């Protein structure tokens, strides 16, 4: 007795696996996702079903691709215009009156400085947001087009994911710098023209980007500091600055007379319009005895100034105090 085994069925033709399918599979995929009724229309005009599917699929995919690109470009333009409008409005906001009243006297110089800082910050953040939205919108449109063509996205996404992980490990310091720069700009920690201390150096900020901050110190050296390495920042010129002048006099000096002379010098400088209008924000104050030793008494005079003007005011205060002491026969003591 013989057992009749069923004849083996012909094995299906293998189709290329991976990212690129064969033409018939692509035609079937394109035609199966037809949203415009083109497949039915072309099938009625062409007797060959295979060619009808290919032609109809290509026409349907072409229309879908054009629509996807058009929507992506229009959406990108709208989002960019919205971001530009918001950043422009943010850069044109003036200082509130409640903050303006804290700085006595005219504030045209401070308004110009603050306006420039707001403009730089808003332009940088707006540029970053525009690039991010462009990548998201155009990247999404590209994935939709690839999917519409019937291509397998799994290998592509897997490759991109592996590449992203590799780049993330290799460029983690760069990413750290960019994130720190973003928060620095959003929080307005410092800007161009500020005098800051970042630990490794102290100087005037000449340029700020998302990756580095460029400083020039008192010796004229230019420092390029990566934002990711800055752990603390001391801003010496944000909003306003303060000039501190310590004056040592002999231990046996008349304290009341010395204080009276310092108050007179501070008042005269406050009444000088060349300093009061644009440099000195608040009337200088004499704090009295700051230190005392066996050989000298140290008085301290302070003045609130416009940003970055503290050294100029301190030098002028020292000059006037020296002149006043010489006229009254008082000598500057040496601190032991």
| CA–CA distance, 248 with 258 (Å, rounded to integer) | 10
| CA–CA distance, 326 with 226 (Å, rounded to integer) | 49
223 and 300 share one domain: no
**Residue-level pLDDT at 18:** 43
320 pLDDT above the threshold of 70? yes
23 and 42 share one domain: yes
Output the average pLDDT for the chain.
77
pTM of the complete model: 0.55
76 and 121 share one domain: yes
**Residue-level pLDDT at 116:** 67
**Residue-level pLDDT at 79:** 93
Q: Among 150-164, 176-190, 246-260, which is the least confidently predicted range?
A: 150-164
Which of residues 89 and 256 earns the better pLDDT score? 256
| Residue range 171-197, pLDDT digits in tens | 788 888 888 888 888 788 888 778 899
| CA–CA distance, 112 with 110 (Å, rounded to integer) | 5
Looking at residue 284, the DSSP 8-state letter turns out to be -
Domain with 225 in it: what CATH number? Answer: 2.30.30.60
74 pLDDT above the threshold of 90? yes
Domain annotation covers residue 184:
no
**Residue-level pLDDT at 6:** 44
**Residue-level pLDDT at 4:** 42
**Residue-level pLDDT at 69:** 92
**Residue-level pLDDT at 3:** 42
Which residue has tokens 């590799």? 166
Q: Closest Cα to residue 227, out of 267, 196, 259?
A: 196
Q: What residue spans of the chain are helical by DSSP H? A: 23-32, 38-45, 49-91, 97-100, 108-148, 153-170, 172-187, 255-271, 273-276, 310-328
> Would you place residue 261 in the very low, low, confident or very high pLDDT band (cuts 50, 70, 90)?
very high
103 and 210 share one domain: no
| Residue range 273-308, pLDDT digits in tens | 888 766 778 888 898 788 888 888 999 999 988 877
Q: What percent of the chain has pLDDT over 70?
A: 74
314 pLDDT above the threshold of 50? yes
Domain annotation covers residue 201:
yes
Q: Closest Cα to residue 227, out of 194, 246, 251, 199?
A: 199
246 and 103 share one domain: no
> Would you place residue 94 in the very low, low, confident or very high pLDDT band (cuts 50, 70, 90)?
low
Domain with 324 in it: what CATH number? Answer: 3.30.70.100
Domain span including residue 254: 241-328
Looking at residue 33, the DSSP 8-state letter turns out to be T
Phi then psi for 303, rounded to 5 degrees?
-145, 130
């Amino acid at each position: 007795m013989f057992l009749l085994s069923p004849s083996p069925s012909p094995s299906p033709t293998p189709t290329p696996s991976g990212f690129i399918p064969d033409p018939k599979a692509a035609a079937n995929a394109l035609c199966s996702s037809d949203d415009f009724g083109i497949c039915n229309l072309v099938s009625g005009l062409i007797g060959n079903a295979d060619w009808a599917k290919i032609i109809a699929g290509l026409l349907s995919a072409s229309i879908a691709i054009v629509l996807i690109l058009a929507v992506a470009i229009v959406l990108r333009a709208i989002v960019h215009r919205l971001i530009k409008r918001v950043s422009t409005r943010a850069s044109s906001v003036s200082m509130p009156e409640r903050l303006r009243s804290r700085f006595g006297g005219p504030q045209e110089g401070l308004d110009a400085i603050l306006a420039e800082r707001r403009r730089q910050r808003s332009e940088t953040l707006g540029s970053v947001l525009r690039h991010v939205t462009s990548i998201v919108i155009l990247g999404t449109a590209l994935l939709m087009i690839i999917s519409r063509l019937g291509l397998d996205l799994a290998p592509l996404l897997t490759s991109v994911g592996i590449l992203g992980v590799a780049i993330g490990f290799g460029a983690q310091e760069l990413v750290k710098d960019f994130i720190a720069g973003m928060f620095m700009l959003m929080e307005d920690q410092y800007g161009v023209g500020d005098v800051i201390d970042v630990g490794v150096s102290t100087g005037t900020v000449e340029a700020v980007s998302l990756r580095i901050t460029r400083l020039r110190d008192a010796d004229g050296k230019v420092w390029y500091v990566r934002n990711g390495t800055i752990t603390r920042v001391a801003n010496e010129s944000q909003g306003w600055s303060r000039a501190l002048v310590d004056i040592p006099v002999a231990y046996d000096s008349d304290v009341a007379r010395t204080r009276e002379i310092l108050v007179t010098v501070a008042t005269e400088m406050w009444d000088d319009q060349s300093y009061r209008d644009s440099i000195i924000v608040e009337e200088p104050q004499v704090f009295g005895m700051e230190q005392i030793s066996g050989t000298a008494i140290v008085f301290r005079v302070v003045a609130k100034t416009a940003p970055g003007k503290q050294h100029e005011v301190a030098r002028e205060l020292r000059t006037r105090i020296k002149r006043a002491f010489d006229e009254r026969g008082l000598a500057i003591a040496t601190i032991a």
